[in-house]
Structure 1
Amino acid sequence: MSEAGIAVIRLGERFDFQAYRTFREAYEQELAKAEIQVLIIDLQAVQYIDSAALGILLLLRDKAQAQHKRVELRSLHGIAKEVFEVANFQKLFKIS
């Protein structure tokens, strides 16, 4: 989904290393679009997240910044929200 320079990627219940390939393909497709300036990662459905997922998001952030684009995290809740808070991701990403 993209609208007015914004693309949204919705994640499934598990965000871990197994999800990396699918997630990478999705974000690379969106980053390749010149009109996309903001990539929103929707974590509403996420029930499980591991440290590999945190690393994956940092890689995405670096790639986006290299293209002068922004990554935002949306709809954090439960254990995923706790993991992001412990990792201080609010200092690295806009979280809503």
Structure 2
Amino acid sequence: MLTLPPVLTHAEAAGFARGLKQAVLSQPAGVVADAGALKEFDSSALAVLLECRREALAAGKTFSVAGLPARLRQLAGLYGVAELIPAAAAPAA
């Protein structure tokens, strides 16, 4: 699982994205981005998630997002990319 930091704005996005390819390659067949810690973000967080998705698909892996904040989900809908960042399946109880 890839864990997003609590703050992911324009200022932090480039630094976080630099290690994204290696992080994705180190994941198993299904890459799950954990957005549960996100507290402060802007549209750059969507760009990071979309880059993560691109890297995962390029590596032949699936991609999903866990814990996406409602406000970021709304932003994804506004930009028309919500379907590109599917919610991760809930763990079995």
Please show how residues 1-96 of structure 1 align to structure 2 within 5 Å: 8-20=1-13, 21-25=15-19, 27-33=20-26, 36-96=28-88
TM-aligned CA deviation for residue 23 of structure 1: 4.5
**Residues in 1 aligned to 2:16 and 2:3: alpha-carbon distance in whole angstroms:** 11
Q: TM-score scaled to structure 2, two decimals? A: 0.70
**Residues in 2 aligned to 1:58 and 1:31: alpha-carbon distance in whole angstroms:** 12
SS of the counterpart of 1:29?
helix
Against the structure 1 CA distance between its residues 69 and 14, is the aligned structure 2 distance closer, same or farther, given a 3 Å change threshold? same
Q: CA RMSD in A?
A: 2.2
What runs of 5+ residues in structure 1 fail to find an aligned partner? 1-7
Against the structure 1 CA distance between its residues 31 and 76, is the aligned structure 2 distance closer, same or farther, given a 3 Å change threshold? closer
* Equivalent pairs, count: 87
What runs of 5+ residues in structure 2 fail to find an aligned partner? 89-93
SS of the counterpart of 1:45?
coil
Equivalent residues of 2:24, 2:52 under 8 A apart: no
Deviates more, 1:52-61 or 1:80-89: 80-89
